[in-house]
Amino acid sequence: MRIGVFVCQCGTNIAGTVDTAAVARKALTFPDVVYATSYMYTCSEPGQKEIQNAIKEHNLQGVVVAACSPRMHEPTFRRAVEKAGLNRYMFEMANIREHVSWISSDREANTLKAADLVRMAVAKLALNQPLFSSKVPINKRVMVLGGGVAGIQAALDCSEGGLEVVLVEKNSSIGGKMAQLDKTFPTVDCSSCVLGPKMVDVSQRENIKLYAMSEVDSISGYVGNFTVQVRKKATYVNWDLCTGCGICTEKCPSKQVPDPFNQYLAPTRAINIPFPQAIPKKATINKDYCRQFTKGKCGVCQKICPVGAIDYTMQDEIVTEQVGAIIVATGFDLFDYSAYGEYGGGRYPDVISGLQYERILSASGPFGGHIKRPSDGKEPKNIVFVACVGSRDPSVDRPYCSGVCCMYIAKQAILTRDHIPDSNCYVFYMDIRAPGKNYDEFVRRAQEEYGVQYVRGRVGKIYPKGDRLVVQGADTLLGVQVEVEADLVVLATGIESASGAQELAEKLRISYDQYGFYLESHPKLRPVETNTAGVYLAGVCQGPKDIPSSVAQGSAAAAKVQALFSRDTIETDPQVALVNERACIACGKCIEVCPFGAIQWKELRGGGRKAEVLPSVCQGCGLCNATCPPKAIQLQHTTDSQILAEVNILCA
Amino acid sequence: MSEIKTKQLRELVEAAFPELDTVIGWEAGYDALHTTPVFIKDAKDIGKLVWNPLCVRNLSGYLVKTPPVQSADENKKIGIFVKGCDSRSIVALIQEKFITRDKLYIFGVPCQGTIDWRRVMKAAPLKNIQSVKMDEKQLVVEDADGTHSFALEDVLARKCLRCAYPNPLMYDVLVGEPVAPRVTVKNAYKDVQELENRSLEERLAFWTKELDRCIRCYACRNACPLCVCQDRCIAETREPKWLSQYMHTSEKFLFHFIHSMHLAGRCTECGECERVCPMGIPVTLMKEELNKITRELLNYEAGVDPNAVPPLLTFSPNETGI
């Protein structure tokens, strides 16, 4: 092969500690290398031009650029060599910046190492093969998992763009956590008033198909062509008939049923609609508390239902949906405050979570919007807010900031002072984190206009005294211990990943971090994509964020889907596994280990079978290659022979 | 003892034979110290079958090695004799779907250990062997020079001295009564433990000395019932070129590493590789070491549960132990 080597100086980035001219001279002595040079900025227009000219002039069949990390400029150079008539995979990059010049100032050693890396790239390139992409059609339907505000926004934006949307929500209504909030910061506008119209919009769009009380069972396929099995959980109410009139709830004799929507502050009935603005507004039976199921007789709702919608024999139903892209917006759960035994959350009825306080504040909440203590219904006068409960605390394995607690307790304190003007509000905080638009002003307003007393320090202990609670903590600014007698304590419980997030990630074949938040492709430059093509992220499932950011990410995910669907076909990446059928022993081990379901059996005409890779599903992880005993399955562009060639150079 | 069992197994084969196409078993070899595999296709040959402590060979490889023993008649099964260790190979092959249980009729033989004839010959060079008898303590061989007796520990195969599974784990019919295992699974890895206790340099010296004798005849690979690549073995392919013709200890190391890695969590320690090695290299030790690690890290033992998946042949994001 005739190979050209181009050693980039990257200004002084590389040339400062590497003798690039010497590397180029040395490269000329390597097998197959017929041309080598050094240039100031190889990625610049003239730098690329020089490569293209050299390809023509020296009749090059392959090009090595020794420069920076391929992450950024490999596509640039691939395009450049392609324009000069080479296959884009007849190109290799040696990273002599991040791997050499930036990590050592020993010029002599650096120059030797750079030459070695070039030599490895040359040895690999000598075994490169031209590779070609194929095209697969795109099914232009999108599935949105999760009907919180991020999912709703994504669904509406996709629908707006004319796409067919399948929205899957695990609860009986969409709305998510935002539907449980009373007001939103920093504008203090009514949460359900701003969310409600969007929810109604979802139900009215003809191109949005909503599956509430549903979860994803399994996912197969690949970008452009996913097949998703959705489990519609039995509600025991025929939703095609149910009008949401609510008579069943009124008459249901099972009255002590825990109500997750109201955060267990007040009971609900065994058949209920979670809240007045629910979409879809349909009743659901809680089987664990329904007398028909627990005692075998009751049937009140069935008798009373004016449309005969009650069906105690209903079973889960599996529906299959074909979509081309999936937006994951599965939200979050709240930190379990009982982990802090010293705060007494869960033991003392008047130590509550932030979300419980939202329900207390809400006009549709258990107390009709009047602030009352859960224990005795009295109006509290002294209210203490404790920040960072399950945030920024490595001792409970939650070292990250939940991002919203500072703001929501400022909001709740303001609302408290509004509701009960003669109340005293105290906030124990570590730092105030209010980086959003108008956020810091909002916190200042709480402090200055509303007279909320901010105490910088952690709470050490909360214990009951009579019918009140004593909050003991430190004021680290004054350097004193403080004690506040409180009627009500609100713990600003932090955010954690939704339960079941990891199981779903495995179905979707996306990555998650150690806390269960889904990993974006790149923390800065690809914040919406996952490493599985065609699967996008929106909202808190990717990491703690507030409503504006969740909505923005929902729209961003929708934009990504629109961009994907703006083409009729997609080009596959040819750097995937390929089976050499002559060497395949049909042991099927590759099929077992493939985490993407990208390998299947191919039945041969004369009987017998061989493994076959679906190139559009394969992510090129190489597990199959490592597992295959006769190495019949090879990653294109990173074959065993190519790796061995590099290793041999390194060890020579 | 052996005679009784031989009689019993012939009767069992006789009874099952109408539904069998071929029975793979052992017959007398060229002298009393050897047996050899036999393939019974005709009922009149059933009398050839024998069972004694010299029935060393693991027959399960015949089910998968080219050409595999298969039944021409779909309704008939292949009968096969297995000892405890051999049955684990069958289980492993079923796990990996190379064979299916319903095509097999398994005659299980509880085994109190097999004789390593090389150890016998090392202990005493024998000529014109007339008869071989084994009881619970010793092996008695009669040859041209008279009668020789050997303590069992001195002549049993190494794998038998560390056998935790003397009774077949899977069978249709058992020949005789189950026997007590010599060691527990936990104590089966004393040989590699002894090696592990040596320093890195000593271990390297040990293996360099042993593997330097390797002539790369690949008998170990060919005898292994779980080495299923056969003609596609990467020891012989040149694309990818993992191994060259270069005759150096490094290439021999690499071959044995590849062989062992391909068997990690799969090897059932039947000892065939070590038995067939013409150079007497203890190659099963490498696989024992990997199995020991697999057991410790992943709590997995090869060839025990036909429904289990060998841990290195699956992708489990929630894998524990690593």
Nearest CA in chain A to B260: A629
Chain mean pLDDT for chain A: 95
C-alpha closest to that of A84 among A68, A117, A62, A106:
A62
What confidence category does residue B320 fall into, taking pLDDT thresholds of 50, 70 and 90? low
Walk across the sheet containing A317-323 and list its strands. A214-222, A225-232, A317-323
What is the DSSP pairing of strand B173-174 with strand B104-108? parallel
Does this model's pTM top 0.90? no
Most A CBs within 10 Å, among B65, B70, B229, to test the A interface: B229
Cis status of the peptide bond prior to B67, with omega within 30 of 0: yes
Nearest-angstrom CA–CA distance, B139 and B53: 10
Q: Do A629 and B241 touch (CB under 8 A)?
A: no
pLDDT at position A221 is: 82
Contact B228 A587 (CB under 8 A): yes
The answer on pLDDT for B244 being more than 90 is no
- CA of B244: how far to CAs of A643, B241, B252, in Å? 16, 7, 10
Quick check: A508 contacting B, CB < 8 Å? no
Q: What is the pLDDT of residues A285-334, one digit of tens each?
A: 999 999 999 999 999 999 999 999 999 999 999 999 999 999 999 999 99
Count of helix runs (H) and strand runs (E) in chain A? 17, 32
Q: Which of B240, B312, B314 sits opposite A639 (nearest CB)?
A: B240
Question: A640–B242: do the CB atoms touch at under 8 Å?
Answer: yes
In this prediction, residue B292 carries a pLDDT of: 94
B262 to chain A: closest CA residue: A629
pLDDT for res A402: 96
By Cβ distance, the residue of A585, A595, A641 closest to B229 is A585
Whether residues B313 and A585 touch (CB distance < 8 A) is answered with no
Instruction: Please tell me the distance in Å from A60's CA to the nearest CA on chain B.
Output: 25
Residues of B in contact with A587 (CB under 8 A): 96, 98, 228
Q: Determine the pLDDT at residue B317.
A: 67
Q: Determine the average pLDDT of the residues in A374-403.
A: 95
Task: Please answer whether residues A7 and A97 qualify as being in contact, where contact means their C-beta atoms are separated by less than 8 angstroms.
Answer: no
Q: Do the chains contact at A640 and B313, CB–CB below 8 Å?
A: no
To the nearest whole Å, the CA of A608 is away from the closest chain B CA by 13
| DSSP assignment string, B11-61 | HHHHHHGGGEEEEEEEEE-SSTT-EEEEEE-SGGGGGGB--STT----GGG
Of B228, B232, B315, the CB nearest to A583: B232
- The minimum CA-CA distance between A586 and chain B, rounded to whole Å, is 9
Contact call for A587 and B98, based on CB within 8 A: yes
Look at residue A652 and tell me whether its pLDDT is greater than 90. no
**Looking at the complex, does the CB of residue A639 fall below 8 Å from at least one CB of chain B?**
yes
Nearest C-alpha of chain B: how many angstroms from A134?
Answer: 25
Cα A486 to Cα A464: distance, rounded to the nearest angstrom? 9
Spatial neighbors of A273 by CB under 8 A, at least 6 apart, are A172, A173, A244, A246, A249, A281, A282, A283, A284
User: Is there a contact between A644 and B314 if contact means CB atoms under 8 Å apart?
Assistant: no
**Angstrom distances, CA of residue B209 to CA of A109, A301, B204, B281:** 37, 84, 8, 10
Q: Is residue B1 predicted with pLDDT exceeding 80?
A: no
Mean pLDDT of A142-166: 97
Mean pLDDT of chain B: 92
Question: A-chain residues within 8 Å CB-CB of B98?
Answer: 587
The dihedral through the CA atoms of A165, A170, A175, A176 has a sign that is negative
Q: What is the mean pLDDT of residues A374-396?
A: 95
- Given a cut of 70, whether residue B322 has pLDDT beyond it is no
Please report residues of B whose CB lies closer than 8 A to that of A593.
Answer: 313-315
The alpha carbon of residue A470 is apart from the nearest alpha carbon of chain B, in Å, by: 44
Chain A residues closer than 8 Å to B96 by CB: 587-589
Question: How far apart (Å, rounded) are the C-alpha atoms in residues A506 and B316?
Answer: 10
Query: ipTM of the predicted structure?
Result: 0.87
| Residue-wise pLDDT tens digits, A445-493 | 999 999 999 999 999 999 999 999 999 999 999 999 999 999 999 999 9
Which pLDDT score is estimated for B18?
A: 95
Contact B239 A587 (CB under 8 A): no
pLDDT tens digits, A517-534 = 999 988 898 999 998 889
Please, which pLDDT band fits residue B321 given cuts at 50, 70 and 90?
low
Give percent of chain A with pLDDT exceeding 90. 93
| Alpha-carbon distance A495 to nearest alpha carbon in chain B (angstroms) | 23
Tell me what pLDDT residue B177 has.
Answer: 93
Distance from CA of A507 to the nearest CA of B (A): 11
Mean pLDDT of A541-546: 97
- CA B128 to chain centroid, in Å, comes to 27
Measured in angstroms, the CA of B99 and the nearest CA of chain A are apart by: 11
Residues of A in contact with B317 (CB under 8 A): 502, 506, 595
Look at A641 and B239 and tell me if their CB atoms are within 8 Å: yes
Check B241 against A623: CB less than 8 A apart.
no
Which of A511, A592, A619 has the highest number of chain B CBs within 10 A, making it the mutation to test binding with B? A592
Q: Name the residue in chain B with its Cα closest to that of A581.
A: B232
Q: How do residues A329-361 score in pLDDT, each as one tens digit?
A: 999 999 999 999 999 999 999 999 999 999 999
Q: What is the mean pLDDT of residues A417-422?
A: 95
Size of interface A-B (CB pairs under 8 A): 54
Q: Do B232 and A632 touch (CB under 8 A)?
A: yes
Mean pLDDT to the nearest integer, A237-247: 95
Q: Which residues of B touch A (CB under 8 A)?
A: 96-98, 228-230, 232-234, 237, 239-242, 262, 309, 312-315, 317
Question: Which residue in A has a C-alpha nearest to residue B311's C-alpha?
Answer: A593
Over 90: is that where the pLDDT of A229 sits? yes
Alpha helical stretches, state H, A161-317: 191-204, 247-251, 291-294, 300-304
Contact B80, B106 (CB under 8 A): yes
A594 touches chain B (CB under 8 A): yes
